[in-house]
């Protein structure tokens, strides 16, 4: 069961002397997912974490709540955070773009440890010669031999970051922690916000539509995409892994599916245009 916490801070004034802090606990159920929603109405004094803790119990380390929820310091309370669904969304976005724009796209996958080999298998069906930049070259060489044997499809494996220079589309599901050697016009998809400044914008925010039955589970005080991430990671609601973004962003620009595909088309056209 997922546990969510909301703290309602009420204004002071004369009437607050006659009010008492109180807890409201609600339960929501859908298929295999269940949510316990705890609302703490706070009128005066310190937050009653002892009372809250009776209902949170073993969920202290993965509590669903807004970013500004004042969790007690030096305690076991932690706000739930996960990039599993976002990483999957970056992969889905890449496959969507390749379907829309076509096989002329020069695509590169950044996969340090080989954990996204499944995506590589799908890329070879949609691009002529995908490039994989990895530190697990030995693993990927075996993967490339398998794909060549079973599908007749070629994959280029490289440990050299310069292999990204000609890529139109770069897919990096894990966080990008170093500047990439890429074109400024490249379209970069990641599952996390990069920790290093990049030569090109990096799309890392993905917004999806929660299916109706799951929307009814969501407490009003939680963001849709944050709640979807919790369902996917903690409640094994893996059907969300097949969803596709309706909007995505790089921290400054929001894209629709159509506008992102148009951006990639422009990148491909620029690369193919002969230089004077």
Q: Would you list the DSSP string of 172-183?
A: E-SPP-S-----
Q: Identify whether the C-beta of residue 23 lies closer than 8 Å to the C-beta of residue 56.
A: no
Q: Name the band, by pLDDT with cuts 50, 70 and 90, for residue 275.
A: low
CA-closest candidate to residue 9, choices 77, 62, 68:
68
Residue 196 DSSP SS3: coil
DSSP-derived secondary structure letter, 135: S
Q: What's the pLDDT score for residue 18?
A: 52
- The closest alpha carbon to 164, from 176, 179, 182, belongs to 182
Residue 17 binned pLDDT confidence (cut-offs 50, 70, 90): low
Q: In whole numbers, what is the pLDDT of the chain averaged over residues?
A: 92
CATH code: domain 84-207+244-272 is: 3.40.50.720
- The DSSP secondary-structure symbol of 162 reads G
The pLDDT tens digits for 78-114 are: 999 999 999 999 999 999 999 999 989 999 999 999 9
Question: What is the band of 262 on the pLDDT scale with cuts at 50, 70, 90?
Answer: very high
| pLDDT, tens digit, 9 for 90 and up, residues 121-159 | 999 999 989 999 999 999 999 999 999 999 999 999 999
Averaged pLDDT, 66-79 = 92
**Percent of the chain residues past pLDDT 70, beyond the cut:** 94
The whole-angstrom separation of Cα 35 and Cα 37 is 6
Mean pLDDT (whole number) for 265-275:
85
Find the angle CA(11)-CA(14)-CA(18) to the nearest 5 degrees. 90
pLDDT digits (tens, 9 = 90+) for 242-261: 999 999 999 999 999 999 99
pLDDT at 120: 94
Retrieve residue 186's tokens: 């490249």
- pLDDT at res. 44: 66
Percent of the chain with pLDDT over 90: 82
| Mean pLDDT to the nearest integer, 38-57 | 85
Place of tokens 């916490």: 5
SS3 (DSSP) at 235: coil
pLDDT at residue 128, as a whole number:
87
Give the per-residue pLDDT at 272.
Answer: 82
Give 230-242 pLDDT, tens digit per residue: 999 999 999 999 9
Domain boundary assignment for the chain:
2-62, 84-207+244-272
Say whether pLDDT at 13 is over 70.
no
φ, ψ of residue 158 to 5 degrees: the values are -150, 145
Contact 252, 201 (CB under 8 A): yes
Write down the number of H helices and E strands in the chain.
Answer: 7, 12
The backbone torsions φ and ψ at residue 143, rounded to the nearest 5 degrees and listed phi first, read -65, -40
197 closest CA partner among 248, 250, 161: 250
pLDDT tens digits for 188-222? 999 999 999 999 999 999 999 999 999 999 999 99
Cα angle 121, 161, 176 (rounded to 5 degrees) comes to 75
Question: 55 near 24, Cβ under 8 Å?
Answer: no
* Model pLDDT, residue 21: 77
Contacts of 78 (CB under 8 A, 6+ apart): 60, 61, 62, 63, 71
Report CA dihedral (141, 146, 152, 154) to the nearest 10 degrees: -20
Hey, which residues does 20 pair with through a beta bridge?
none
Tokens of 253: 């620009």
Q: What tokens does 153 get? A: 């499809």
DSSP state of 148: H
Mean pLDDT of 160-179: 97
């Amino acid at each position: 069961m997922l546990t969510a916490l909301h703290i309602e801070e009420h204004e002071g004034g004369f009437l607050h002397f006659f009010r008492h802090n109180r807890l409201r606990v609600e339960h929501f159920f859908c298929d295999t997912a269940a949510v316990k929603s705890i609302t703490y109405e706070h009128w005066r004094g310190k937050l009653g974490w002892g009372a809250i803790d009776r209902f949170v119990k073993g969920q202290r380390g993965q509590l669903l709540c807004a970013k500004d929820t004042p969790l007690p310091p030096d305690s076991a309370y932690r706000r739930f955070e996960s990039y599993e669904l976002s990483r999957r969304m970056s992969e889905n976005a890449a496959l969507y773009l390749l379907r829309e724009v076509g096989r002329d796209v020069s695509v590169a996958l950044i996969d340090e440890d080989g954990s996204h080999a499944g995506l590589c298998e799908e890329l070879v069906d949609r691009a002529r010669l995908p490039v994989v930049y990895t530190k697990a070259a030995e693993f990927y060489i075996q993967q490339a031999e398998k794909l060549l044997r079973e599908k007749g499809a070629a994959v280029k494996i490289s440990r050299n970051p310069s292999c990204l220079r000609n890529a139109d589309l770069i897919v990096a599901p894990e966080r990008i922690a170093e500047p990439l050697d890429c074109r400024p016009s490249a379209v970069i998809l990641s599952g996390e916000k990069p920790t290093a400044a990049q030569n090109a914008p990096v799309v890392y925010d993905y917004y999806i539509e929660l299916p109706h039955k799951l929307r009814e589970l969501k407490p009003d005080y939680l963001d849709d995409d944050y709640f979807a991430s919790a369902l996917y990671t903690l409640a094994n609601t893996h059907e969300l892994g097949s969803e596709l973004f309706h909007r995505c962003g790089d921290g400054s620009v929001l894209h629709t599916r159509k506008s992102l595909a148009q951006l990639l088309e422009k990148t491909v056209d620029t690369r193919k245009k002969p230089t004077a």
